[in-house]
Amino acid sequence: MRSASIAGLLLGSLLAAACIDTAFRSAADTFLAEYEAEAQQLYYAWSEAEWASNTHIVEGDPTNAARTREAREAFVRFAGSVENIDTIRAYLSQRGRLSDLQERQFAKMLYLAAEGPMTIPEIVQQRIAAETEQVERLYGFEYRLRGRPITPNDIDALLRTSTELPERLAVWEASKEVGPALKPGALATRDLRNQTVQALGYSDFFTYQVSDYGMSADEMVRLCDDLVRALRPLYRELHTWARYELAGRYGAEVPQLLPAHWLPNRWGQDWSVLVEVEGINVDSAIGTHTAEWVMQQGEAFYVSLGFDPLPATFWERSSLYPLPPDADYKKNTHASAWHLDLDTDVRSLMSVVPNPYWYETVHHELGHVYYFMAYSNPSVPLVLRDGANRAYHEAIGSTIGLAATQPRFLVNRGLADETAEVDEIAKLLQEALNHVVFIPWSAGVMTRFERALYVDALPGEALNATWWDLVRRYQGIVPPTSRGEEYADALSKTHITDDAAQYYDYALAEALLFQLHQHVATEILGQSPYDTDYFGSAGVGAFLRDLMSPGASRPWQEVLQQTTGRELDAQAMVEYFQPLYDWLVQQNEGRTHTLPDL
pLDDT at 3: 42
Q: How confident is the model at residue 20 (pLDDT cuts 50, 70, 90)?
A: low
Higher pLDDT, 284 or 352: 352
Domain ranges of the chain: 2-119
Q: How confident is the model at residue 278 (pLDDT cuts 50, 70, 90)?
A: confident
pLDDT at 284: 86
Please state, for a pLDDT cut of 90, what percent of the chain lies above it.
88
- Chain segment 75-130, per-residue pLDDT in tens: 999 999 999 999 999 999 999 999 999 999 999 999 999 999 999 999 999 999 99
- Decide the pairing of beta strands 346-349 and 336-339: antiparallel
Residues 6+ apart with CB under 8 A from 13: none
Q: How confident is the model at residue 426 (pLDDT cuts 50, 70, 90)?
A: very high
Q: How confident is the model at residue 2 (pLDDT cuts 50, 70, 90)?
A: very low
- The C-alpha atoms of residue 174 and residue 156 are separated, in whole angstroms, by 11
pLDDT at 11: 45
Largest CA distance in the chain: 99
pLDDT at 14: 45
Q: How confident is the model at residue 10 (pLDDT cuts 50, 70, 90)?
A: very low
pLDDT at 421: 84
Higher pLDDT, 571 or 60: 571
* Cα separation of the two ends of the chain: 73
Most confident of 153-162, 411-420, 580-589: 580-589
Which letter does DSSP use for residue 378 in this model? T
**Do the Cβ atoms of 189 and 134 come closer than 8 Å?**
yes
Most confident of 57-61, 153-157, 447-451: 447-451
DSSP, collapsed to helix, strand or coil, labels residue 422 as coil
**Do the Cβ atoms of 205 and 197 come closer than 8 Å?**
yes
Alpha helices in 199-261 (DSSP H): 205-211, 217-250
Which letter does DSSP use for residue 523 in this model? I
Higher pLDDT, 17 or 582: 582
Whether 315 has a pLDDT exceeding 50, the answer reads: yes
HSE-up (13 A, CA, CB side) for residue 168: 20
HSE-up (13 A, CA, CB side) for residue 135: 12
**Do the Cβ atoms of 235 and 269 come closer than 8 Å?**
no
Question: What is the four-CA torsion angle of 542, 543, 548, 554, rounded to 10 degrees?
Answer: 110
520-531-223 Cα angle (round to 5) = 50
Q: What are the φ/ψ torsions at residue 477 (nearest 5 degrees)?
A: -120, 145
Q: What are the φ/ψ torsions at residue 173 (nearest 5 degrees)?
A: -65, -40
Please state, for a pLDDT cut of 70, what percent of the chain lies above it.
97
- The C-alpha atoms of residue 429 and residue 425 are separated, in whole angstroms, by 6
Higher pLDDT, 577 or 421: 577
pLDDT at 561: 94
Enumerate the β-bridge partners of residue 148. 145
Instruction: Count, in order, helices (H) and strands (E) of the chain.
Output: 25, 6
Whether 38 has a pLDDT exceeding 50, the answer reads: yes
- The C-alpha atoms of residue 106 and residue 112 are separated, in whole angstroms, by 10
- Chain segment 363-411, per-residue pLDDT in tens: 999 999 999 999 999 999 999 999 999 999 999 999 999 999 999 999 9
- The C-alpha atoms of residue 27 and residue 19 are separated, in whole angstroms, by 12
- Chain segment 522-533, per-residue pLDDT in tens: 999 999 999 999
Q: How confident is the model at residue 277 (pLDDT cuts 50, 70, 90)?
A: confident
pLDDT at 17: 53
Higher pLDDT, 197 or 57: 197
- Give the residue-averaged pLDDT of 190-198: 98
**Do the Cβ atoms of 306 and 541 come closer than 8 Å?**
yes
pLDDT at 136: 87
Whether 4 has a pLDDT exceeding 70, the answer reads: no
- The C-alpha atoms of residue 242 and residue 256 are separated, in whole angstroms, by 11
Q: How far is CA 166 from CA 170, 179, 244, 464, 544, in A?
A: 6, 21, 19, 23, 49
pLDDT at 139: 86
**What b/e string do you get for 182-209 counting C-beta neighbours within 10 Å, with b at 16 or more?**
bbebbbebbbbbbbbbbbbebebbbbbb
- The C-alpha atoms of residue 298 and residue 310 are separated, in whole angstroms, by 10
Least Cα distance to 578 among 345, 76, 233, 306 occurs for 233
**Do the Cβ atoms of 490 and 464 come closer than 8 Å?**
yes
pLDDT at 513: 96
pLDDT at 18: 57
pLDDT at 376: 98
- Give the residue-averaged pLDDT of 354-360: 94
**Do the Cβ atoms of 143 and 417 come closer than 8 Å?**
no
Q: What is the mean pLDDT of the chain?
A: 94
- The C-alpha atoms of residue 69 and residue 50 are separated, in whole angstroms, by 9
Secondary element (H or E) of residue 148: strand 148-149
Whether 36 has a pLDDT exceeding 90, the answer reads: yes
